[in-house]
Structure 1
């Protein structure tokens, strides 16, 4: 069924952006320079100087006195949240209550209980308002792999092998942040590819690498078990000093597919940061097109009144990710598999 465009909206969807640090500023630049059918009308940041600097890069944009003012503003049709995760629950709920579509960067909330409250708020509203910023769902390779799985091209899927590597992290990037900031993307990828919940997780902590920060366990290996018994491995290595790499390998009864290798073989070397091939320094070059596609699809969904694009992660996906991450954090100090506990979907 095709949605009817919301003719009450102006020609360009007026987007308010909450939080304009690195990620938020990237989104403002994206909406201003590359996204069709939208413009940034209002921004907010707890550092006023930062907000004013970013607002100056978007024609016709103003700075709000608070995020609450931004959500309620008449010149804001939809909201993009890029503030720190501890504010997401309250801000996303406010957008739902204001009847404004929201694209919220992950996480939806810092714990399953808060994430579930957002799901309940959306359910109570009678509408669909929340899109969650798991941009990999809009990556070309991820989309192609998802389509191959759904079409049965690979047969029965038994194992997913995931790898998530960063060149380095900022000081204080502790084990729990490896879960909530890094592994959370693989957690959502499991739900996206397999369309079934994670029921248990185990952590294996090798000897820390030479660049591990303080008590950080880096590299780290996580094992996830899904409802049907499939196993997913997630290798995290966030201080490789060799660039940013994200790979996924799917083992099926009729074939094996791998994404994220780039063109040809790539060999990395820690000493001297030498490599053969091209490895981006961080996540932005690797997923630039995915972010653009995600935001463009969101704007189109806001325009046609559906509010949530077909491939987008929802508030429920955010809750499932929060539940899996909570269990994963427990697994860091536990032996064997830790169960993932979830509540029924409202």
Structure 2
């Protein structure tokens, strides 16, 4: 492989543009050569900052001779088709979550990668690269909490994006926890129940109760219109103690009769270190012609759980999680 990785980025909204900036400024041996976005002016602006050019189409970018690897940060509905195009072109791809809108589409990606015989897909579950989550996982593995019994998660946004639905809260927001909890526990999800206190209109917030194969229970609160800011928390409760993520706040302010810290609404800034480490790991693997980290199989599993979660939200009942058997391509690093 070349000593330099030439990257094409599809979708340069807040997430994609930040990936372009990070790749250009903080990831050695990587150069963004092409970008594509339906907003042509936005694409031109981002491409100029990176020293790249604007592609005429997403498909043209994937097949470009000037692109060795692809970052997919376009709308969720485009993910599966673009990843399949990257697999057909034999190019490593980092796909932002979710891998697909449906579990069936995610499974098609898995089957295409398996048919190719090597891993090329990494899914953007960046929390696995976050220093706080990584330390929490090490704490668990060291046995400092005894036997884990419960995991409590909170995931709040200041305001939802346009077109949010009850289903999209599960598939677009809660899906992070649907990957993080099994990864933290080295366990698998076997059942899920999702409810909301809001009966009319957007069912927000939502509360999920997740059952693990080991019997551990996890709760996930997702509130996409919490108003006050972006807030992510995780606590693991064990037989010998508990461990929680510590708030990442550099300054505590006492002023005008208040005592507290600022809560930002910027999710990209909140996980800036995680995105940087994620892109470093992805580019290193892509330079070697492959992929590491969260796999297409992990993306498929999260989609399966999300679909069960949406069904549970609509029915008010517990739904089982039943993925297909894992292909041997993904046996390494099985959780």
Instruction: Normalising by structure 2, report the TM-score.
Output: 0.91
Instruction: Return closer, same or farther for 1:120/1:275 CA change in 2, 3 Å cut-off.
Output: farther
Deviation for aligned residue 1:265: 12
User: 1:335 and 2:316 equivalent?
Assistant: yes
Q: What's the C-alpha RMSD, in Å, of the aligned pairs?
A: 2.0
Deviation (angstroms), 1:180: 1.3
Count of residues paired in the alignment: 323
Task: Note the C-alpha offset of 1:47.
Answer: 2.5
Residue of structure 1 equivalent to 2:42: 50
User: Structure 1 residue 169: deviation in Å?
Assistant: 1.5
Q: 1:101 aligns with which of 89, 92, 104?
A: 92
Q: What aligned pairs does 1:54-69 form with structure 2 within 5 A after superposition? A: 54-59=46-51, 61-69=52-60
Structure 2 CA distance for partners of 1:37 and 1:221, relative to 1, 3 Å: same
What residue number does 2:70 align with?
79
Give ranges in structure 1 of 5+ residues lacking alignment. Answer: 1-7, 209-213, 268-273
Aligned residue among 301, 311, 326 for 1:320: 301
2:134 corresponds in structure 1 to: 143
Residue correspondence of structure 1 range 249-288 to structure 2 within 5 A: 249-262=235-248, 276-288=260-272
**Are the structure 2 counterparts of residues 249 and 25 from structure 1 closer, same or farther at C-alpha, using a change threshold of 3 Å?**
same
Deviates more, 1:291-300 or 1:195-204: 195-204
- Residue number among 292, 309, 316 corresponding to 2:276 in the alignment: 292
Equivalents in 2 of 1:318, 1:120: separation in Å?
Answer: 13
Query: Secondary structure in 2 aligned to 1:163?
Result: strand
**Offset, 1:295:** 0.4
Q: Which residue of 2 aligns with 1:15?
A: 7
User: How far has the Cα of 1:117 moved from its partner?
Assistant: 0.8
Question: How big is each residue's C-alpha offset from its partner over 1:220-261, in whole Å with a ceiling of 9 and x where there is no partner?
Answer: 211111112211100112222211110000011222100143
Structure 2: segments with no counterpart, 5+ residues: 328-335
Please report how far the alpha carbon of residue 334 of structure 1 lies from its aligned counterpart in structure 2 after TM superposition.
1.4
- Does structure 1 residue 115 correspond to structure 2 residue 115? no
* 1:27 counterpart = 2:11: no
CA contact (8 A) 1:138 1:293 kept: yes
Question: Cα distance, 1:35 vs. partner?
Answer: 1.6
Misfit runs of 4+, over 3 Å: 262-267
Trace 1:142-291 onto structure 2 (pairs within 5 A): 142-207=133-198, 215-262=201-248, 276-291=260-275
**Compared CA separation, residues 200 and 275, structure 1 to 2 (3 A):** farther
C-alpha separation in 1, matches of 2:80 and 2:204: 30
| Equivalent residues of 2:15, 2:268 under 8 A apart | no
Q: Which residue of 1 aligns with 2:330?
A: none
Shift of 1:266: 8.8
Q: In structure 1, which of residues 280, 291, 303 is the aligned counterpart of residue 287 of structure 2?
A: 303
Q: Distance in 2 between matches of 1:246 and 1:275?
A: 21
Q: Is the 8 A contact 1:45 1:51 kept in 2?
A: yes
Normalization by structure 1: what TM-score? 0.89
1:38 aligned to 2:30?
yes
Cα 1:177–1:275 change in 2 (3 A) is: farther
Moved more, 64-73 or 286-295: 64-73
User: 1:3 is matched with which residue?
Assistant: none
Q: CA deviation at 1:53?
A: 1.8
